[in-house]
Amino acid sequence: IVETRLKLMLNPKLLDGHTAVTPRVGIIMGSDSDLPVMKDAARILNMFDIPNEVRIVSAHRTPDIMFSYASSAGERGIQVIIAGAGGAAHLPGMVAALTPLPVIGVPVRASSLDGLDSLLSIVQMPRGVPVATVAINNATNAGLLAVRMLGVGDADLQARSLSLSLFIMSQYLEDTKNDVL
Ligand code: RP5
């Protein structure tokens, strides 16, 4: 595990789906243990061919990297940041304090408190530093919200993102049909 973590930190591009294109969305997370949850955001963006990058950036373990990532993201062409973290989940809020870009926070269920700690750490931001918080472990919604942000002024992207939302909801209704009958 340690070797994999080191490899990802030294070669962050190993995580990317689109390496040749300028990413429009940055998907960051406090640990590679958040990846199984956070990959859903990348999956949604990839469905729309929206270039994205995935990085491990920890507010606590690598504060310098977090600072330079957040303060340079806009200059590099990033338009939306999706930040996931668990436990004392300070990453989305600290990033939002360093960039004018919209930040979407994903509370990751990582500890014995079942994700409530992550949710409260991310959602209870002070006035003036906005973070759009999605449900615990719901990186799919973070991806969809990023698509909707990028879709402002882009009717085609708006129509496609609505279709995908409707499709996901219809799947959910299908999956839960037996629970209500
Ligand atoms: C947070 O602590 C991370 O975002 C992760 O959700 C949690 C546990 O991290 P690891 O100990 O698995 O690296 O900073």
For residue 105, which of 70, 87, 131 has the smallest C-alpha distance? 131
Q: Is the CB of 121 under 6 A from ligand 1?
A: no
Please state, in angstroms and rounded to a whole number, the distance separating the CA atoms of residues 144 and 44.
Answer: 7
Residue with tokens 């994903």: 106
pLDDT tens track, the chain, 181 positions: 666 666 666 566 666 655 578 999 999 999 999 999 999 999 999 999 999 999 999 999 999 999 999 999 999 999 999 999 999 999 999 999 999 999 999 999 998 899 999 999 999 999 999 999 999 999 999 999 999 999 999 999 999 999 999 999 998 888 888 776 6
Q: Is the CB of 34 under 6 A from ligand 1?
A: yes
Given a contact cutoff of 8 angstroms between Cβ atoms, the answer to whether 142 and 102 are in contact is: no
Residue with tokens 């939002």: 96
Given a contact cutoff of 8 angstroms between Cβ atoms, the answer to whether 73 and 24 are in contact is: no
**ipTM of model:** 0.95
pTM: 0.89
List the residue whose alpha carbon is closest to atom 12 of ligand 1.
Answer: 33
Q: Is the CB of 30 under 6 A from ligand 1?
A: yes
> Candidates 8, 33, 136: which one to mutate for ligand 1, based on the most atoms within 8 Å of Cβ?
33
Please state, in angstroms and rounded to a whole number, the distance separating the CA atoms of residues 81 and 101.
Answer: 7
